[in-house]
Amino acid sequence: MTRRDAPKPRQKAASAAAAEVAPATSATTTDLSDPSLYIHRELSQLQFNIRVLEQALDEQTPLQERLKFLLIFSSNMDEFFEIRVAGLMDQVAFEHERVGPDGIAPQQALAMISATAHQQIERQYAILNERILPALAEAGIRIVRRHEWTTRQKAWVRRYFRHEVAPLVTPIGLDPTHPFPLLVNKSLNFIVQLEGVDAFGRDSGLAIVPAPRVLPRLIRLPDDICEGGENQVMLSSVIHAHVDELFPGMQLHGCYQFRLTRNADLDIDAEDVDDLARALRGGLYTRRFGDAVRLEVADNCPRTLVEYLLKQFGLAEQDVYEVNGPVNLSRLFSVASQPGFPQLQYRPFTPAIPKALKKSEDIFVTVARQDVLLLHPYESFTPVVDMLRQAAKDPAVLAIKQTLYRSGATSEIVDALVDAARAGKEVTAVIELRARFDEESNLTLAARLQQAGAVVIYGVVGVKTHAKLMLIQRREGSELVRYAHLGTGNYHTGNARIYTDYSLLTSDPALCEDVHKLFGQLTGMGKVQAMKKLLHAPFTLKKTLLDLIARETAHAEAGQPAQIIIKVNAVTDAKVIRALYKASMAGVKIDLIVRGMCCLRPGVPGVSHNIRVRSIIGRFLEHSRVYWFANGGDEVLYLASADLMERNLDHRVETGFPIESKKLVHRVRRELDLYLADNCSASLLQADGGYLRAQPANGQAPRNVQQLLLEKLCGTGAAAG
């Protein structure tokens, strides 16, 4: 039985199909559980992906960077189908449909997603073919299509196919002894129409040709057969041009590329396995062969073959995407990073080092004297690495404890932890093996640390450890002194160059004691311990945030000025959204800076008329989580690892840490104001679920927050280009 037995009709795009929101008559009569007050989370995620795609149209952005945005859209959509769409399809297939606060059933959501995704993917290929590729060719970077090959290029490609490709290709004729093959998730394949009888008397007429996964998808043509610039051909073109050589004596009637996307979510119940690491290793293999969720196929593929493929994969008509170009666009990232064309890329910059650290040879001396707050990537992640490196070598350091969610198995952070363990220090690493799509890297990381002598803990059963914490214990005289790093982002030095995140280096005794207690909860067993300053999910973080929202609401009800500014990656928790609605109805001015999903509807009369929501998308991935409350003039500021999502607040180990220095509070507030003033890279969420790009008003100067922060923290001219 197929996953879905009949095709489902397409519906309007999500933003157009959003329910009309009726104005509330009064606060006392408004039903805050009304589904029309909530946006479906998957449809909101899709809107984020669209905002990423639209960056490819911004002619103020360098050309190769525009291509990157277009390819990031492809990568995002792959994951969207692998996880989000797959989850909805599972609910429908197994008749366990769950309806969220928005009231949209999974089957309806799938139809809305399909309509919007088809429209936007068609738009993506139009941008690629009509704008990006011609502009790249004019600049000297060319993907040479088959019909453009010169005689010399054809000869070179033929030799390449025969020597490098054909020996690795395994064509599969389809007949009773060769059933349709099990294809790897997102692999490039061709369906081939043939005529004739082979040596064994077979004449099925169809074959599948999987592209060798070990070969590059782009092949550089030699300079001596080209007319300047960088010239490349796609592996798909090479195979397509010579596929007839794989079927000698047969007549070829057609060859069409296709790609299948599968459910890639790992369904492992940590409570039902004896060894989580071993279970994950098995799950990583099965991820490659999960249930089919999407079929991409060349738009010139005959209808009969499309229907044949849909039947083979148990997919419906709405699940096929006919594309005008390569089905595996993500493989073009090498073109987007092609060196030698600096004018087509963002201008490089050097992350700043704060003066306090620049003048200090001993980072512990500096942090003992004052808290240090860093904003990456504008300010370097190096001080975090340096503190760990110094700790690894310092004979006074006795123990290091650290959480690792996404770090990479060969990062500088891991190198320092390995050095510390080999030096005989007590090193404890809490590694979250289930960080999606980083499971394999984290398994390798865990093995490496264990071999060095570190104690490796996999966190808590059933609850992902997402907190970003480092604790160093150092003997100073007769005392043990603690130093800590707390962050909003991962311990990944590569991400620290492209993600915006805050890092706090501190020796505050109360905060460090709280971090010590949290590590005790993660590695040992015991009841929840009271914390003096640290907020931690799933215990106190959500409750405290709700209390802070309620306190701001009380200030407004008492006629006092009240304001909330929150910067996160997603807002989906219905309880938090209701609290924000109540605050808005009381008169609290609320600004939400939400990069991705936002299920809250701003601007609804009588309900969310005091709430503004903006999304910033630009050169860097906005990743920091900031919670600021006016609190009657006595500002309260928390930085956190958690977004306003049920999974973060209720089902993960997360932290929120206070910034108490007035100087640092004012600094973060000024930075938030820059985000709120952005009129170039901001998109404003509307009540219908759609977004409008912010534009400078008449006579208003353009303000791009990321460029302004580059200029402010990294020096004049750093943001140009």
Active-site residues: which are they? 466
Which two three-digit tokens encode residue 504? 């706090």
Name, in order, each residue with C-beta under 8 angstroms of 679's C-beta and a sequence gap of 6 or more: 694, 695, 696, 697, 700, 702, 703
- Burial of residue 254 (CB within 10 Å: 0-12, 13-18, 19+) is middle
436 known ligand binder: yes
Name, in order, each residue with C-beta under 8 angstroms of 264's C-beta and a sequence gap of 6 or more: 79, 82, 83, 86, 185, 287, 290, 437
Tell me how far apart the alpha carbons of residues 181 and 189 are, in angstroms, rounded to a whole number: 11
Name, in order, each residue with C-beta under 8 angstroms of 524's C-beta and a sequence gap of 6 or more: none
Measured CA to CA in angstroms, residue 622 lies from 7, 619, 665 at distances of 38, 9, 19
288 known ligand binder: no
The dihedral built from the CA positions of residue 221, 222, 226 and 227, taken in this order, carries a sign that is positive
Proportion of the chain in helix, strand, coil states, percent, rounded to 5? 40, 20, 35
What residue has token string 């600021």? 628
- Burial of residue 706 (CB within 10 Å: 0-12, 13-18, 19+) is buried
495 known ligand binder: no
For residues 655 and 486, the answer to whether their CB atoms sit within 8 Å is: yes
Measured CA to CA in angstroms, residue 560 lies from 257, 545, 552, 586 at distances of 64, 20, 9, 11
Question: If you write DSSP's letter for every residue of 507-538 in order, what string do you get?
Answer: --HHHHHHHHHHHHHHHS--SPPP-SS-EEET
76 known ligand binder: yes
Axis crossing angle, helix 151-160 with helix 235-242, rounded to the nearest 10 = 90
CA 671 to chain centre: 23
Which two three-digit tokens encode residue 557? 């009800």
Measured CA to CA in angstroms, residue 48 lies from 594, 685, 689, 691 at distances of 10, 11, 11, 9
User: SS3 of 194, please?
Assistant: strand
Q: How many helices (H) and strands (E) does the chain have?
A: 22, 27
Largest separation between any pair of C-alpha atoms in the chain:
89
499 known ligand binder: yes
CB-CB neighbours of 427 under 10 Å? 25
Closest C-alpha among 535, 468, 472, 462 to residue 503 = 468
Task: Fill in the DSSP letter of residue 350.
Answer: -
Question: If you write DSSP's letter for every residue of 297-314 in order, what string do you get?
Answer: EETTS-HHHHHHHHHHHT
Tally of residues, the chain = 721
324 known ligand binder: no
Tell me how far apart the alpha carbons of residues 417 and 388 are, in angstroms, rounded to a whole number: 7
Tell me how far apart the alpha carbons of residues 447 and 431 are, in angstroms, rounded to a whole number: 11
Backbone angles phi, psi at 147, to 5 degrees: -70, -10
Binding site residues, as ranges? 76, 406, 436, 499, 595, 623
